[in-house]
Amino acid sequence: MKTKENIKELNLLKGPLWNKLLIIAIPLAFTGILQQLFNAADIAVVGNFIDNQDVAKAAVAAVGSNSSIVNLLVNLFVGLSIGTNVIIAQFIGQGRTDNVHKAISTSVIMSIIGGLIIGLGGQLVVNSLISIMGVPPDVFDLATIYLRIYLLGMPVIFLYNFETAIFRSVGNTRIPLIVLACSGILNVLLNLFFVMVVKMTVSGVALATVLSNLVSAVILFYLLCKTNENIKIIPSKIHFDKVSFNQIIKIGLPAGVQGMVFAVANICIQSAINSLGTEVMAGSAAAMNLELFSYYIMSSFGQSCTTMVGQNYGAGQFDRCQRSLYVSLLFALIAYLIILFLLFTFGSFFLSLFNSDPDVISNGLIRLRFMLMGHVFSVLIEVLSGYLRGFGVSTSPAIVTLICVCGIRIFWVFVLFPIYRTFSFLMLVYPISLGINGLAILLLFFFMLKKLKIKTTTMGATVRN
């Protein structure tokens, strides 16, 4: 199997839209699902293969309580990688190959240095972060161990995300999926080995996650070095380009902040969940894995819309950008309805795969049903935000999300929840905040529409000249 054939670029500037969007989105959706399955394997393994049931329950709660912190860190660099995706896609649409290589080189350097800063610097505040989360004493030490080991893997986790963004910029989402599948199988095998054979607990699943991400990052880097396409990496020519860095930051940082806003708000919610006891924590952690399947599928259409719009904006084709949006919204809505049916119908069964304790399943169902009600608004949030980012508009969606999501959820947790201290009332904040945010993003889209058309027309005239 030749590398050149594997890294074949899609022509996103001509031809039918629906099939190209599906070619990009379906592997992205499966990538998100596989990532979550392999992350869920951490919880499933410690929940089912640790001999002591009390330790197993505490281990599940420890891994789940770290999810919000991990998402906070990862979302920043995932957002920055979106900047890489958009900039490279726009340069390809404009036919500026030299700028493509500068952006790729800069992205690789950013990911490694940034990962080292976060991974090593984060060690200094691990105990404080776990304390702020309000993790109970029987879970505290396990949660701390898991987070410390996970942080050490930040450089390779960030590098992997930037590498997938490079592939995504040319419409190739298949190779990252294949690589993830291979490393994910390794992750599961290492989970079982460290927990069942070596008798480790959360430290074993954290170490397995780091090692499998290292394998993913190395394989993708090798493939990028071997391709003959626009996105080829030449290690001896990797250098930092200030202009590319500024362009990536301009788009990527607000996108990262938008992701971090969700994570910060969810940390506040997680701290409230932690105050309700280990069974609620374990049920919430299990449900979180299932609900994220829905999110990743919908976000895949937002990301594919970003790539399609980025290239066509670079080529000055506004009508094609608009059609990309409509098709992406339709596909995302259909996917949501399918997921809604499956999880509402078989939610108890899926939750039992993580932990068979009836109390854990009961609490998991509460979270799952409230979150799924709100995810219809995530269709608007993800696809419309992805559409705007394709034009390089990233700050406005971040500000809207900061106000609508972070503001509402923090108010709910610190003002309303102390009055009505039930898990159901706490979970109600999800559909309410997502609904308000979705409507606000929709209003922003209509406000920006005319400006985006003028901006694309100007870009098209520049490219033709």
Of residues 386 and 63, more confidently modeled? 386
The distance from CA 214 to its chain's CA centroid, rounded to whole angstroms, is 18
Using a pLDDT cut of 90, give the percent of the chain over it: 27
Higher-confidence residue of 130 and 32: namely 130
Euclidean distance between CA atoms 305 and 219, whole angstroms: 26
pLDDT at 411 over 90: yes
* Of the candidate ranges 229-243, 265-279, 314-328, 450-464, the one whose mean pLDDT is the lowest: 450-464
Kindly give the residue spans of alpha helices, DSSP state H, lying in 122-169.
Answer: 126-132, 137-152, 154-169
Instruction: Write the DSSP assignment of 267-307 as a string of letters.
Output: HHHHHHHHTT-HHHHHHHHHHHHHHHHHHHHHHHHHHHHHH
- Pick the residue with more confidence: 293 or 128? 128
Short-list 453, 392, 329, CA closest to 82: 392
pLDDT average, residue stretch 425-430? 94
What is the pLDDT, as a whole number, of residue 62?
A: 80
The whole-number pLDDT of residue 112 equals 92
Angle at the Cα of 257 (from 210 to 221), degrees rounded to 5?
40
Predicted confidence (pLDDT) at residue 356 exceeds the cutoff of 70? yes
Q: Check pLDDT > 70 for residue 464.
A: no
Exposed, middle or buried, 52 (CB in 10 Å: 0-12/13-18/19+)?
A: exposed
The predicted model gives 31-38 an average pLDDT of 76
Average pLDDT of the segment spanning 6-26: 80
Cα–Cα dist 215/222, whole Å: 11
Q: 74 or 157: which carries more pLDDT confidence?
A: 157
- The arithmetic mean of pLDDT across residues 405-423, rounded, is 92
Stretch among 288-292, 399-403, 430-434 having the lowest mean pLDDT: 288-292
Q: Over the stretch 264-287, which tens digit does the pLDDT of each residue have?
A: 787 788 888 888 888 888 888 888
| Burial classification of residue 2, based on how many CB atoms lie within 10 Å of its CB (0-12 exposed, 13-18 middle, 19 or more buried) | exposed
- Confidence (pLDDT) at 412: 94
pLDDT, position 6: 46
- Integer Cα distance of 136 and 143 in angstroms: 10
Q: In which band, very low, low, confident or very high, does the pLDDT at 9 lie, cut at 50, 70 and 90?
A: low
Tokens of 23: 């070619």
CA distances, 64 to each of 97, 172, 228, 281, 314 (Å): 43, 32, 42, 7, 41
What Cα–Cα distance (Å) separates residue 1 from each residue in 7, 31, 221, 355, 432?
A: 11, 22, 17, 41, 50
Q: Enter the DSSP assignment of 231.
A: T
Cβ count near 287 (within 10 Å)? 29
Residues 6+ apart with CB under 8 A from 198: 204
* Mean predicted lDDT score pLDDT of the chain: 85
Q: CA nearest 86: which of 33, 31, 162?
A: 162
| Structural domain boundaries in the chain | 16-464
Q: Which amino acid is at 248?
A: I
| CA–CA dist 317, 49 (Å, integer) | 55
pLDDT in tens, 143-186: 899 999 999 999 998 899 899 989 888 888 889 999 988 988 99
Q: Tell me which of 36-40, 184-188, 308-312, 334-338 is least confident.
A: 36-40
How many angstroms separate the CA atoms of 460 and 463, rounded?
A: 5
Better-scored residue on pLDDT, 64 or 451 = 451
Residue appearing with tokens 């490219």: 463
* Position 5 pLDDT exceeds 60: no
Q: CB–CB of 83/303 below 8 Å?
A: no
- Answer for the pair 134, 275: CB distance below 8 angstroms, yes or no: yes
